[in-house]
Every structure is written in C-alpha cells, then in structure tokens.
Amino acid sequence: TQHLLEVEGLKTEFKRGGGSVTAVAGVDFHIRKGEVLGLVGESGCGKSVTSLSIMRLLKDTPGKITGGSVRFEGTDLTKLSEKDMRRARGNDLAMIFQEPMTSLNPVLRIGLQLTEPIMLHLGYGRKKAREHAIHMLKLVGIPRAEEVIDEYPHQLSGGMRQRVMIAMAMSCNPKLLIADEPTTALDVTIQAQILDLMKRLKEEQEMGMLLITHDLGVVAEMCDRVVVMYAGRVVEEAPVQELFSNPKHPYTKGLIQSVPKLRQKVRRLESIKGNVPDLSQMPPGCKFAARCPFAMEKCVASEPELIPLAGASERKSRCWLTQDEAVEGGDRA
Ligand code: SF4
Ligand code: MG
C-alpha cells in the first residue's frame, strides 16, 4: 500500500569551505494518513534539514538534495518544478516553524497573510477567504478573532503568534503537516493547548504529521511512531510505546535516560556525554561509537546498517548489538 509520505535514501549536502558536508545521509521513513511520526534527536542531528529537504525549502541555505526520493502520494517531490512544488506547499503540505516571527511578515496585517494563501489555494473570493480565516483563528483558540485579524504580528503575544502560524498552516487543509519544534518557544500551558489543538485537527482532518522535537514528553503525548536520528542517519524506528518501554539502540536508551523523572525537581538533566561528531570529520564506523558505553572494536571499524528487527512490525535499529535480532531474511533497509 502506498503511504502518504515515503522518504527513501534522502541525502542532503551543504557546501562548506572548499568541499561539502553531508547533513542528511540516506534517511528512510514513511507516514500514513492520520498518523503522527516523531523525528527526534539532539540539535545538529539533521532533523530540521530533513524537514526542509522534504519541503524543498533549502534555498536560503547552501544545502542541496543529492540523493534519494521524497514521494508524497506517489509523486516524487524532489523531481517537481519549482512552480509545482510551490503549489504543493500551499495545497497539500504545510509547515510550522519554531519561531513564528520568522514566518510571519511583520509589516502585513494578520488578515492579509492568512487570506492570500486561502484565496490562492482554495480559490475563494476575498470575503469568503476572510470568513474562513476568522474561522481558523477561532479554531486555534484565538479570542476576539474578528479584531485580531486586522492586527499586526507584533501586537500579539508569542503564544498567539504561534497559534496564528498554526491557523495559517491548517487553513488550506493540508494532507501533511510538518511541525519543527512547534511549541518549544512557548510556556507549558500554551504548549499543552497547542498540542491538543494539533491532535484534534489531525483527528478531524485525518492529516498526517511529521513532528520534529527534542522533547520526549511531547513525543509520548503526540506520536504514533518515532524515528530517532543521529549524525544525519536514522538509528532507530519504533512504535511509540515500544520506543519507551524497550529502546534498542544505545543512543535511544541514552536519550530516554536523560529525561528528568517527574517530580524530581532538583535533579540535573543527565544528558549523554560527549558531542555529535563534526559533519566534516565523520568517523568511519558507527557514528555514535565515541559516546557509546557498549562500543566494540567492530563498531569503530564499520558502520552497521539500519535493519528491521524481529518480533514487532516497523521496528528498526542501526547497531551491531541488535543485528542478531534482525528479521530472518528480511529486507535490508
Ligand atoms: Fe554502540 Fe557499537 Fe551499537 Fe554503535 S554499533 S551504538 S558503538 S554498540
Ligand atoms: Mg532544529
């Protein structure tokens, strides 16, 4: 069966100095209709570059997709013309960024920014588009929507701006929403409200979602399945409950252990020691070897593949320790 989104072997490189570095090194995952896939990992692991690659929004960076495919309902987005891609971004795909001020135009009223895409993509006239925009603002819980629509972004609080962004992203009924740290900049109460809202809209509209976050609490709350990235690679994939109850990859185990326990207020967040390797000086073997408490000689010498594991569907791990759990004769990912 065809998935809503199918990312296969995605590779994105950046020019740096005289050469290039690989920020996304052959990433595979898929998302179904009405499903939320979490993409987690430390900053610099390639999460954001992956999402920008899917949306083909690398133009402002020196990045370039150099391999693989991104099939959306069967169409390879990497092969679309700029014009068709722009249309797809308005109609079927939408993205919410972490910092709403970077995606809202400060000199234009909220209303104009909301209604233009609605007119363009849904073909509504100005009056109907404005009504739809107000409806969307109400849907994301903005009070006095009829007034807010005529205000400028700076007149709103951060939480309200983020809601406007979400209203904007949802206003053309996207089939896939990519949300990159959508609530990280917000306080906890507003964060919870916005996550609730996204969940509701996902259920009501059967929208698929790629949720990029480093917050495992948000993952537990929102996601159906999770992909863990490290150094531009997928290192683990699992249904959300299994990821937490039985993580397979040492990096995932480290991430989960680093979450501070509830009610242990004073305890310091115990993060994984060491740093993500420099993209321009990737070690040849397992990219996590320098930080892995289980590293063996083999790990330093050669990199394990991401392989499906036996016992559960849609479980994969990229670690020499889990190779013996591989699906017998299963497809290599
Ligand atoms: Fe650790 Fe080796 Fe597994 Fe890498 S392959 S995560 S170094 S045990
Ligand atoms: Mg990021």
- 292 pocket-lining for ligand 1 (C-beta < 6 Å): yes
- Tokens, residue 84: 């068709």
For the record, the structure tokens of 47 come out as 């999460």
294 lines ligand 1 (CB under 6 A): yes
Task: Note the pTM of the prediction, 2 decimals.
Answer: 0.89
Rounded to the nearest angstrom, the distance between the alpha carbon of 66 and the centre of ligand 1 is 27
Of ligand 1's listed atoms, the one at least distance from the Cα of 320 is 5
Expressed in angstroms and rounded, the spacing between residue 199 Cα and the centre of ligand 1 is: 35
CA of 97 from ligand 2 middle (Å) equals: 9
Cβ atoms of 156 and 137 within 8 Å: the answer is no
**Ligand 1 and 229: CB distance under 6 A:** no
Q: How far is the CA of 1 from the centre of ligand 2 (A)?
A: 31
Q: Taking every pair of C-alpha atoms in the chain, what is the biggest distance, in angstroms? A: 67
Q: At what angle do helices 110-122 and 126-139 cross, to 10 degrees?
A: 110
pLDDT tens-digit series, residues 3-23: 999 999 999 999 887 888 999
CATH number listed for the domain at residues 5-92+175-274: 3.40.50.300
* Whole-complex ipTM: 0.96
pLDDT tens column, 297-326: 999 999 999 999 987 778 999 999 998 877
Identity of the amino acid at 257: Q
Averaged pLDDT, groups of 10, the chain, 333 residues long: 92 88 95 96 90 88 91 96 89 80 82 92 94 91 94 90 87 90 77 82 88 91 96 97 95 85 46 81 93 95 94 89 74 45
Structure confidence at residue 268 (pLDDT): 42
Domain spans of the chain, in order of start = 5-92+175-274, 104-173
What residue's CA is closest to ligand 1, atom 5? 319
Token pair 């903005």 is at which residue? 142
Instruction: Tell me which of 299, 317, 324 to substitute to probe ligand 1's pocket, judged by most ligand atoms within 8 Å of the beta carbon.
Output: 299
Pairing of strands 36-40, 208-213: parallel
Q: What is the pLDDT of residue 1?
A: 66
d(CA 21, CA 255): 25
* Ligand positioned closest to the Cα atom of 48: 2
Which among 38, 29, 41 is positioned nearest to 4, based on CA atoms?
A: 29
Using one digit for the tens of pLDDT, what is the confidence trace for 35-69? 999 999 988 899 999 999 999 988 766 789 999 99
Q: Calculate how far, in angstroms, residue 142's C-alpha sits from the geometric centre of ligand 1.
A: 48
Q: What is the 3-state secondary structure (H, E, C) of the chain?
A: CCCCEEEEEEEEEEEECCEEEEEEEEEEEEECCCCEEEEECCCCCCHHHHHHHHCCCCCCCCEEEEEEEEEECCEEHHHCCHHHHHHHHHHCEEEECCCHHHCCCCCCCHHHHHHHHHHHHHCCCHHHHHHHHHHHHHHCCCCCHHHHCCCCHHHCCHHHHHHHHHHHHHCCCCCEEEEECCCCCCCHHHHHHHHHHHHHHHHHHCCEEEEEECCHHHHHHHCCEEEEEECCEEEEEEEHHHHHHCCCCHHHHHHHHCCCCCCCCCCCCCCCCCCCCCHHHCCCCCCCHHHCCCCCHHHHHCCCCCEEECCCCCCEECCHHHHHHECCCCCCC
Which ligand 1 atom minimizes the distance to the CA of 235? 6
For atom 3 of ligand 1, which residue has the closest CA?
A: 319
Q: Of the residues 305, 316, 321, which should be mutated to test ligand 1's pocket, given the most ligand atoms within 8 Å of the CB?
A: 321
Query: What distance in angstroms lies between residue 286's CA and the mean position of ligand 1's atoms?
Result: 6
- Our answer on whether the CB atom of 301 is closer than 6 Å to any ligand 1 atom is no
* pLDDT for res 269: 43
Q: How far is CA 320 from CA 275, 292, 332, in A?
A: 21, 12, 14
Cα of 2 to ligand 2 centre, how many Å? 29
